[in-house]
Amino acid sequence: MSFLKNIFKSEPKLDSISLSVFGADIHSHLIPGIDDGSPDMETSLLLVRRFVELGYKKIVTTPHIMCDFYQNTPDKILEGLDNLREELQKNNIKIDIFAAAEYNLDDGLDKLIAEKQILTFGDNHVLFELPFMQEPRNFQEIVFNFQMAGYKPILAHPERYTYWYDDFNKYEELKAKGILLQMNLLSLTGHYSPQTKKVAEKMVDTDLVDAVGTDCHRIEHLMMIEDHLNLKHIHKLAQKENLFNKKL
């Protein structure tokens, strides 16, 4: 009987941390009505207020840019940011909020890089994501083009790309090429899948995570993160002194 108790013994409970330890969030979808994130200004205000309550000091919100679905431009994103900032001020919601984008590695990205139509943050950093079905054939070429144009690429949620699950060395190869790896805090909650959670935990344990983000699209995402702020691996990330978020 004691043997069975040991098998099913749960992980010791830790205290819930404040997300203020991360300082800034660098991945979210808070500008209303331009992608699959916040649908309207009322929702955006609700979400940003929750970010403040959770302890964040700064937000870099990152609307999708996809040539086939979300054809956002820098002008459209920055106009949306200005409108959001105005409403935040009216409602006395105080937080530093900026905008970049989450660029999908699709057929239109190379042109945006060549024309310098890229929204950046930090020290010319740019957030980009890959398709979820398979690694694109021009992945290495796009990374090279980013770097040759003076951009510093940050790969969004690499723990979610299932085609790398049987090749964990891939994450080390990416870092060796100068790509920063941004993990979604949601991945550690099990929100996406048990497999994603397992890969995310291994990335934390092997010190492969450079940055974290909420990838918040809706209030339920923040609620789920809040419910899991006692997780061991979120504590480990919070203790990482050179985390990119803390430098912004």
Domain that holds residue 138: 18-247
Using alpha carbons only, give the angle 212, 224, 185 rounded to the nearest 5 degrees: 15
Closest listed residue to residue 193, CA positions, set 203, 204, 201: 201
pLDDT on residue 75: 97
Tell me the average pLDDT across 206-219.
Answer: 98
* Helix 219-227 with 41-54: angle, nearest 10 deg: 20
pLDDT tens digit sequence for 24-35: 999 999 999 999
Q: Label residue 7 by pLDDT band (50, 70, 90).
A: very low
Q: Label residue 176 by pLDDT band (50, 70, 90).
A: very high
Q: Decide if pLDDT at 4 tops 80.
A: no
Closest listed residue to residue 18, CA positions, set 225, 211, 244: 225
- Chain centroid to Cα 31, Å, comes to 15
Tell me the average pLDDT across 58-71.
Answer: 94
Tokens standing for residue 221: 């995402």
**In this structure, is residue 34 part of a structural domain?**
yes
Tally of domains in the chain: 1
Q: Decide if pLDDT at 122 tops 60.
A: yes
Taking CA atoms, 137 is separated from 30, 134, 213, 217, 242, in Å, by 31, 9, 26, 29, 32
**In this structure, is residue 13 part of a structural domain?**
no
pLDDT on residue 69: 86
**In this structure, is residue 3 part of a structural domain?**
no
C-alpha 159/C-alpha 170 separation (Å) is: 11
Tell me the average pLDDT across 224-233.
Answer: 97
pLDDT tens digit sequence for 108-121: 999 999 999 999 99
Taking CA atoms, 193 is separated from 53, 140, 207, 231, in Å, by 27, 27, 21, 16
Question: What percent of the chain has pLDDT above 70?
Answer: 95
Q: Decide if pLDDT at 124 tops 90.
A: yes
Tokens standing for residue 64: 């999708």
**In this structure, is residue 212 part of a structural domain?**
yes
Considering only CA atoms, give the Rg of the chain: 18
**In this structure, is residue 8 part of a structural domain?**
no
pLDDT tens digit sequence for 229-238: 999 999 999 9
CATH number for position 51: 3.20.20.140
**In this structure, is residue 208 part of a structural domain?**
yes
Taking CA atoms, 31 is separated from 200, 209, 228, in Å, by 27, 26, 26
Q: Label residue 11 by pLDDT band (50, 70, 90).
A: low
Q: Decide if pLDDT at 3 tops 60.
A: no
**In this structure, is residue 139 part of a structural domain?**
yes
Q: Label residue 10 by pLDDT band (50, 70, 90).
A: low
**In this structure, is residue 4 part of a structural domain?**
no
